[in-house]
Amino acid sequence: MGTDTFLSICVGVGLATACGLRVFIPLLVVSVASHFHHLPLAPGFLWLSSTPALIAFSVAAGLEVAGYYIPWVDHALDVIATPSAMIAGTIVSVALMTNVDPFYKWALGIIAGGGMAGLVQGTTVVARGASTATTGGLGNPLFSTVELIGSILVSVLAVLFPVLVLLILAVAFFFIARWLIRRKPRVPVSA
């Protein structure tokens, strides 16, 4: 595997991870970067760099961001965002793998791209549910802002510093997994 192939996989997985925070922000970043010839796209995905795609992703990203600030709409968006994030994560990762055999490209795209997007999206659904339960939904705009900033940062950094983003994500997942494993379930004391 060449350096270009490795970097394209890193960019794709990094952007797929960002799809778990916001579905359309990473797609918009891919569209902008490829439109201005910063990101090469695999054959069959050149449409992502087109002006109509750029406009569509801009509008979709704006509507998605606005929707997360409307009470109760954020919950409805989470319901549809979970499968959408996995699809977007798969598309983004596959679109960027330019020199990979189609079988391996799609297998890696579905497993790594769709899997990372689904894992992150599932985590945010649980966290938003906890925020809604504890604050009555009043904390959700703050939560949405953190997700938005995270999606933008991860997307842009994945394009500019793909290996660094994967290392940061690996370290973050390691510490989250370690924290989850070390948590001891509380056993209720019976009278």
Who contacts 32 (Cβ-Cβ below 8 Å, separation ≥6)?
Answer: 54
**Helix or strand holding residue 26 (H, E):** helix 24-35
Alpha helices in 68-184 (DSSP H): 73-96, 102-108, 115-135, 140-160, 162-182
Torsion of CA 23, 25, 27, 32, to 10 degrees: 170
User: Which one-letter amino acid corresponds to residue 13?
Assistant: V
DSSP string, 67-92: HTTSTTHHHHHHHHHHHHHHHHHHHH
Burial bucket for residue 124 (CB in 10 Å: 0-12, 13-18, 19+): buried
Who contacts 182 (Cβ-Cβ below 8 Å, separation ≥6)?
Answer: none
Which tens digit of pLDDT belongs to each residue from 35-73? Answer: 999 999 998 999 999 999 999 999 999 999 998 888 778
Q: How far apart are CA 37 and CA 49, in angstroms?
A: 8
The answer, yes or no, to whether residue 1 has pLDDT greater than 80, is no
Which tens digit of pLDDT belongs to each residue from 75-132? Answer: 788 888 889 999 999 999 999 998 888 999 999 999 999 999 999 998 888 888 888 8
What secondary structure letter does DSSP report for 2?
-
Tell me the domain boundaries of the chain: 3-182
